[in-house]
Amino acid sequence: MEPKVIVIAGPTCSGKTKLSLNLAKKINIEIISADSRQLYKYLDIGTAKPSSEDMNNVKHHFIDILFPDEEYNVSRFETEALSLIGEIINRGKIPVVIGGSGLYIKALVDGIFNTVETDAEYRAELFEKRQKFGNEFLYDELKKIDEETASKMLPQNWKRVIRALEVFHLTGKSIRQHHSEQLMHNNYTFTQFGLDWERKILYQHIEKRVDEMINSGLVEEVRTVLEKGYDKTLNSLNTVGYKEIISYLDGTYSLDRAVELIKRNTRRYAKRQLTWFRADDRIKWFKINSEDDFDVISNEIIKYYY
């Protein structure tokens, strides 16, 4: 039987971290964060990172691994997380993936090759090049970026050549590399769980968290990051919580208006997350009325795991 990986998904403020810490009291786990913003150093309050104490008690991965001006992508996460899962299992521990970045989770469970399937605009561009310059031109383009894959094809197999070019364009990896990684995906059984709050209660959690972030020093955190010389237009700062505070510091909004916008935009983000996750019928959803339910839920997860 393939080793199992627990995945805990859900919208922001749904208690994923608290549930995983409850789970850690019962079984020997390591946590893989599937959060595209907790990757960055200095972005602590606005990304609701686990506390230093929590990270000392339970090993966490993919937190504070990058500076705010460094680039990261879902394809890299897939590769590194798959490798890490193997290491955790070899240590005799259970890997638990938690997060709200739906694309990261889907890529890990299904593979980026299956997650990001086509780019219609780029494909149309390749068809146009074929009409203008012929099959050999496309084949030579493939050889420049992925000689190994090209060596397994012929120029007249232009559909396969176009697909190989498209895959590399989308992911930065060759088709052969994707096939190799897919074998790694097939080595694991991913069991996914989702946290389902009544919408009104979830929104109350969001409002409370935003207030706590402000009281904990979010404004000062953003100011400090900018004073370190990081450009306010960085992708890492173009996220809810940071972009609104940056606008406040620029004088665009009052602080009250910035806080109001953070709450509104976080609610909208949570709604998009729920729409994404609910499209995956493999996720087992737990109805939650309060955080007191987490102890029972963690026991249910353990039953499914074993």
Q: Do 110 and 124 sit in the same domain of this protein? A: no
CATH of the domain at 133: 1.10.20.140
**Residue 265 one-letter amino acid:** N
**pLDDT of the residue at 263:** 98
With beta carbons less than 8 A apart as the criterion, state whether 264 and 207 touch.
no
DSSP track, 270-289: HHHHHHHHHT-TTPEEEEES
**pLDDT of the residue at 186:** 64
Query: Using CA atoms, how far apart are residues 53 and 55, in angstroms rounded to an integer?
Result: 5
With beta carbons less than 8 A apart as the criterion, state whether 30 and 97 touch.
no
Among residues 133, 163, 179, the one where a domain terminates is 179
Q: What is the pLDDT of residues 59-81, one digit of tens each?
A: 999 999 999 999 998 888 988 99
Phi then psi dihedrals of residue 287, to 5 deg: -75, 130
**pLDDT of the residue at 69:** 97
Q: What is the pLDDT of residues 165-178, one digit of tens each?
A: 888 887 777 777 76
Q: Do 80 and 193 sit in the same domain of this protein? A: yes
Among 68, 64, 10, CA closest to 238: 68
Query: Using CA atoms, how far apart are residues 251 and 8, in angstroms rounded to an integer?
Result: 39
Average pLDDT over residues 144-156: 86
Q: Do 98 and 193 sit in the same domain of this protein? A: yes
Q: Do 198 and 75 sit in the same domain of this protein? A: yes
Residue 288, C-beta contacts closer than 8 angstroms, at least 6 positions apart: 14, 15, 195, 196, 197, 294, 297
Share of the chain above pLDDT 70, in %: 94
**pLDDT of the residue at 111:** 80
Q: What is the pLDDT of residues 196-240, one digit of tens each?
A: 999 999 999 999 999 999 999 999 999 999 999 999 999 999 999
Q: Do 243 and 259 sit in the same domain of this protein? A: yes
Q: Do 18 and 123 sit in the same domain of this protein? A: no
Q: Do 97 and 148 sit in the same domain of this protein? A: no
State the residue range of the domain holding 291: 4-114+181-305
Q: Do 140 and 121 sit in the same domain of this protein? A: yes
Q: What is the pLDDT of residues 243-293, one digit of tens each?
A: 999 999 999 999 999 999 999 999 999 999 999 999 999 999 999 988 899
Query: Using CA atoms, how far apart are residues 31 and 7, in angstroms rounded to an integer?
Result: 10
Q: Do 122 and 151 sit in the same domain of this protein? A: yes
**pLDDT of the residue at 221:** 98
Confidence of residue 185 (pLDDT cuts 50, 70, 90): low
Terminal Cα distance for the chain, rounded: 12
Q: Is the model more confident about 90 or about 120?
A: 90
Among residues 164, 179, 194, the one where a domain terminates is 179
Query: Using CA atoms, how far apart are residues 61 and 243, in angstroms rounded to an integer?
Result: 26
**pLDDT of the residue at 20:** 96
- Number of structural domains, the chain? 2
181 has a pLDDT exceeding 70: no
Q: Do 105 and 209 sit in the same domain of this protein? A: yes
CB neighbourhood size of 118 (10 A): 11
Query: Using CA atoms, how far apart are residues 234 and 70, in angstroms rounded to an integer?
Result: 9
pTM: 0.80
Q: Do 90 and 230 sit in the same domain of this protein? A: yes
Among residues 153, 179, 205, the one where a domain terminates is 179
CATH of the domain at 203: 3.40.50.300
Q: Across all residues in the chain, what is the average pLDDT?
A: 91
Q: Do 87 and 166 sit in the same domain of this protein? A: no
